[in-house]
Amino acid sequence: MSKPTVPMGRSAMAGRPKPKFNGNTLKRVLKMLFESYPVLMPITIACIIFSAIVNTLPAIFNQQIIELIEEWYVSREWASAKLEIMPRIITLAVLYVISLISFFTHTQLMAYITQGFLSKARKKMFSGMQNLPIKYFDTNKHGDIMSHYTNDIDTLRQLVSQAIPAVLQAGLIVISVFFIMLWYSAWMTLVVIGGILLLTFVTKTVGGGSAKYFIRQQRSMGKAEGFIQEMMNGQKVIKVFCHEKNSIKDFNEINNALYEDSKKAHSYANLLGPINMNIGNIIYVIIATVGGLFLLSEGFTNISISKAVGREVVFGISVVIPFLNMTRQFTGNINQVSQQINSVVMGLAGAERILNLMDAEPEADDGYVTLVNALIDENGNITETKERTGKWAWKHPHQADGTVTYTELKGDVRLFDVDFSYDEEKMVLHNIDVYAEPGQKVAFVGATGAGKTTITNLINRFYDIADGKIRYDGININKIRKSDLRRSLGIVLQETNLFTGTVMENIRYGRLDATDEECIEAARLSGADDFISRLPDGYNTELTNNGSNLSQGQRQLIAIARAAVADPPVMILDEATSSIDTRTEAIVQKGMDRLMHGRTVFVIAHRLSTVKNSDVIMVLDKGRIIERGNHDSLIEQKGKYYQLYTGAFELE
């Protein structure tokens, strides 16, 4: 179990940097939406615009109808007024029906677009994640990465399906109503604008605080999930060392940070709605009062766009009453926009984290030498073939003259003066020289942290060396495509990973085109067939939760069988038998001897009995090879290996 997350109580929270809002995130989200749905998105926006415009038309119709009623009241010619009023009412009713259809259309389209967009986002995240280097997963908590697929995706859903359409519609209504107001009366509009400035100030002050803490909440949630995932994986260790109370204490501190961020975010958010609503009510009352005063004032001169263009609307009750409704509509939609600030900010915070994962630098691979199936005749001539032959060759295209040469894959691995550092500050390996000829068994021994596993990670190119060279069959591994390089290497790690599925499927994971017979033969070779045959459903037994229904030794045997079915020319065994008891180890060792026959093998082991028959044993200390030779020669030297073997010096 890794070191627990640093506690984040009040003092830790005070020292955290304030998150910055990135406006480019919204642009990227919108761009991705239009790229994903180039036809449906414009249709949806058109429906939203139409629905918004129709929502502003009642003010115009109301003004005209009230004006006609005023004229009828003076002239008493109701029949003629009725003929003019009814068409307007019918027109408004028809527009409302069309608006309803438009609203239904855009909500259904947004539901379809949103779920499709999220599905594509998850696919893009996952496919991109498969191309990330091992370093990314070593430096990021797995629970925090998982949070991208759960919490962040959910906030993005709210942004796309609810917040953006609501803000767009409310914004269009506000703009439309504003110009209608100016058409009727600039003075009355100025009164409304004065109230809106107050509304905007409150929204910016309260909403800004809410936005800041909603962004913090999203990040704190990711940290909490990362910690929980870490604790779940280390549950046995926690219980063995009676660390429950400390785990609870650490979790409480992280959870308190999440609580503080969430509390402040929602406190601000819950204040915003009632404050804006009451400011809107105050503006409504002011408009009613000012409108009445203007009506009673004999010297009042109205200024409006309608007057400026020569189509003046007489200022009267027919203007004041619709103005009251427009004021309510104006402030209500501004309030609607302010209410969506939380969803927008949370959605953009989640979107930014998702985009960061998508933008994470993929594993660099400039290799051009590939691995191909080969037919090799008695004269050593190599012919490429699509069929699996059991023989492999490196296909090396030469750009200079356009020719292609083939080199037989033999498993000759050599390291020359290799230096390496994980963080570019402290060197982990110094001047490492390794010469593994085809068919040789090379063992690395030394204390934990000496650099044994790091060497095998460099051979796999999980990390790239800082200096020196690594050659595989005489080819610089930087020239070999990484997927082909790793396909030629079989690896059995100390930590076994089994996937949900049957035992057969887990063995076949080593080579997906392997037949059942080949998987069973690989299990026999590794010594796993005996216990698999005794399982309830044999090879069809379902494994879940990383094979928790099996013992550690059984899980390791399946991992060895998985490597065996891949049939690679080079094998890396990183403490492959460390979790197996002595009796089982003897069984496995026979199978592994058969597995290693004819292959180049790198063995990392603390049990020196497992490396005794190695062709070359290298003793590492603090990133340097201090001794090398076979078992007998190292014993004769009476150096560090001799001390380790005789028990005069413990590995740890």
DSSP 501-533: EEHHHHHHTT-TT--HHHHHHHHHHHT-HHHHH
pLDDT band, residue 10 (cuts 50/70/90): very low
Cα separations in angstroms, 91 against 58, 86, 98, 230 = 11, 8, 11, 64
Neighbouring residues of 419: CB distance < 8 A, sequence distance ≥ 6 = 427, 429, 430, 431, 432, 465, 466, 467, 468
Return the minimum-mean-pLDDT range out of 231-245, 247-261, 335-349, 502-516. 231-245
pLDDT value at 215 more than 90: no
> Two tokens at 396?
């090396």
Give, for 543, the enclosing helix (H) or strand (E): strand 542-543
Q: Which helix (H) or strand (E) holds 316?
A: none
Quickly state the pLDDT bin for 72 (edges 50, 70, 90): confident
Tell me the C-alpha distance between 489 and 603, whole Å.
13
Specify the amino acid at residue 338: S
**Of all residues in the chain, what percent carry a pLDDT higher than 90?**
21
What is the Cα–Cα distance from 199 to 165, expressed in whole angstroms?
Answer: 22
Closest CA to 331 of 179, 164, 199, 186: 199
Q: How far apart are CA 154 and CA 171, in angstroms?
A: 24
- State whether residue 489 is helix, strand or coil: strand
- 126-130, 240-244, 562-566: segment of lowest average pLDDT: 240-244
pLDDT surpassing 50 at residue 20: no
pLDDT tens for residues 102-148? Answer: 888 988 999 999 999 999 999 999 988 888 888 888 888 887 888 88
* Of 615, 614, 603, residue with least CA distance to 575: 603
DSSP-assigned beta bridge partners for residue 166: none
Residue 129, both tokens: 């994640």
Residue from 414, 415, 411, 405 nearest 369 by CA:
405
Mean pLDDT confidence for 451-461 = 89
Write down the pLDDT at residue 588: 65
What domains can be seen in the chain, in order of their start residue? 24-359 (1.20.1560.10), 370-408 (no CATH), 410-488+568-652 (3.40.50.300), 498-567 (3.40.50.300)
Asked if 363 and 460 touch (Cβ cutoff 8 Å), the reply is no
Mean confidence (pLDDT) of the chain: 82
Residues 6+ apart with CB under 8 A from 17: none
3-state secondary structure 93-158: HHHHHHHHHHHHHHHHHHHHHHHHHHHHHHHHHHHHHHCCCHHHHHHCCHHHHHHHHHHHHHHHHH
Taking the model in full, what pTM does it have?
0.72
What pLDDT was estimated at residue 9?
Answer: 36
pLDDT score of 16: 41
The first and second tokens of residue 474, run together, are 């005489």
Closest CA to 569 of 394, 367, 412, 456: 412
CA neighbor of 622 nearest in space, from 413, 425, 426:
426
Dihedrals phi, psi of 549, to nearest 5 degrees? -85, 5
Give the pLDDT confidence of 473-519 residue by residue, as tens digits. 999 999 999 989 988 888 887 777 888 889 999 999 888 888 999 99
pLDDT value of residue 5: 37
pLDDT score of 32 more than 90: yes
For helices 40-75 and 78-130, what crossing angle results, to 10°?
160
pLDDT digits (tens, 9 = 90+) for 375-424: 888 888 888 888 888 888 999 998 878 899 999 999 999 999 999 988 77
Determine the pLDDT at residue 645.
81
Identify whether the C-beta of residue 441 lies closer than 8 Å to the C-beta of residue 629.
no
CB contact at 8 A, 231 and 143: no
Share of residues in the chain with pLDDT > 70 (%)? 88
pLDDT the model gives residue 12: 35
Task: Quote the tokens at residue 341.
Answer: 């600030």
Euclidean distance between CA atoms 434 and 353, whole angstroms: 42
Provide the token pair at 162.
């609810």
Count the neighbouring beta carbons within 10 Å of the beta carbon of residue 399. 7
* Cα three-residue angle 565-567-569, rounded to 5 degrees: 160
The owner of tokens 């389209």 is 109
Inform me whether the pLDDT recorded for 90 exceeds 70.
Answer: yes
- Round to whole Å and give the CA distance between 461 and 474: 16
Nearest Cα neighbor of 268 from 219, 332, 213 is 213
Is the predicted pLDDT of residue 65 greater than 90, yes or no?
A: no
pLDDT reported for residue 146: 85
pLDDT digits (tens, 9 = 90+) for 176-214: 888 988 888 888 888 888 888 877 777 677 666 666 777
d(CA 319, CA 330): 16
327 contacts 287 by C-beta, under 8 angstroms: yes
DSSP letter string, 321-348: HHHHHHHHHHHHHHHHHHHTHHHHHHHH
Burial class (CB in 10 A: 0-12, 13-18, 19+), 636: exposed
Residue holding tokens 């029949």? 79
Contacts of 227 (CB under 8 A, 6+ apart): 4, 5, 141, 143, 250, 251, 254
**Residue 81, CA distances (Å) to 72, 92, 104, 320, 620 in order:** 6, 17, 35, 21, 102
If pLDDT is split at 50, 70 and 90, which confidence band does 625 have? very high
**pLDDT value of position 651:** 46
Measured over the CA atoms of residue 646, residue 649, residue 651 and residue 652, the dihedral's sign is positive
Look at residue 4 and tell me whether its pLDDT is greater than 60. Answer: no
User: Which residue do the tokens 């779940």 mark?
Assistant: 232
Main-chain phi, psi angles of 434, to 5 degrees? -135, 135
